């Protein structure tokens, strides 16, 4: 690209926006990858205990991305979550329940509880910080 075609003020201003879009797309790609690994795990025919650990780990990674990158707004009573990121978490739960039976159910229960606790914890501390700033 030639420098005479670039408006420095515009290019500088759009950099954070472009970065956030690239990061968002990277998180979606990661969610897709986790979901595909979860579905394809069935084909590996792992021992049950190892399979349950893998299912649990993949569900936790899907949930962690919802927590770290999917919350759009913490101010409502329940945080506003990006569907584009959360849909993989929801699909992952469905696949785990249908493909991995009791082990999948245990993994889903554990991941759901962990995500709910983490969201509540984060919301509590964000509210405290906001109150401290206004005090």
Domain ranges, ordered by start, for the chain: 30-134
Please state the separation of Cα 61 from the chain's center in Å. Answer: 7
Interatomic CA distance for residues 80 and 70, integer angstroms: 8
Whether the per-residue pLDDT at 132 is higher than 90: the answer is no
Whether the predicted model's global pTM rises above the 0.85 cut: no
Alpha carbon distances (Å) from 83 to 16, 29, 69, 90, 124: 22, 14, 11, 10, 23
* pLDDT at res. 16: 59
> Could you report the per-residue pLDDT of 80-97, keeping only the tens digit for each?
999 999 999 999 999 999
Residues near 89 by Cβ (< 8 Å), separated by ≥ 6?
Answer: 31, 59, 62, 63, 65, 66, 70, 115
Mean pLDDT score of the chain:
87
> Could you report the per-residue pLDDT of 106-120, keeping only the tens digit for each?
999 999 999 999 999
Stronger pLDDT, 21 or 2, i.e. the higher one: 21
Whether the per-residue pLDDT at 3 is higher than 50: the answer is no
Mean pLDDT of 93-103: 96
Residue 63: name the closest of 119, 134, 1 by CA.
Answer: 119
The pLDDT confidence band at residue 135, using thresholds 50, 70 and 90, is: low
Interatomic CA distance for residues 28 and 86, integer angstroms: 9
| DSSP 8-state symbol, 81 | E
Mean pLDDT of 26-53: 95
Whether the per-residue pLDDT at 24 is higher than 80: the answer is yes
The pLDDT confidence band at residue 125, using thresholds 50, 70 and 90, is: confident
């Amino acid at each position: 690209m030639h420098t005479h075609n670039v408006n420095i003020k515009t290019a500088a201003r759009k950099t954070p926006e472009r970065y956030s879009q690239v990061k968002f797309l990277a998180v979606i790609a990661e969610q897709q990858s986790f979901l595909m690994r979860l579905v394809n795990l069935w084909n590996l025919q792992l021992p049950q205990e190892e399979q349950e650990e893998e299912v649990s780990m993949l569900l936790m990674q899907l949930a962690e991305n919802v927590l770290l990158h999917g919350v759009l707004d913490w101010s409502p009573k329940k945080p506003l979550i990006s569907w584009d990121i959360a849909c993989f978490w929801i699909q992952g739960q469905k696949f785990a329940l249908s493909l991995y039976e009791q082990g999948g159910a245990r993994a889903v229960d554990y991941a759901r509880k962990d995500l709910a606790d983490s969201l509540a914890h984060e919301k509590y501390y964000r509210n405290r910080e906001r109150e401290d700033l206004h005090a």
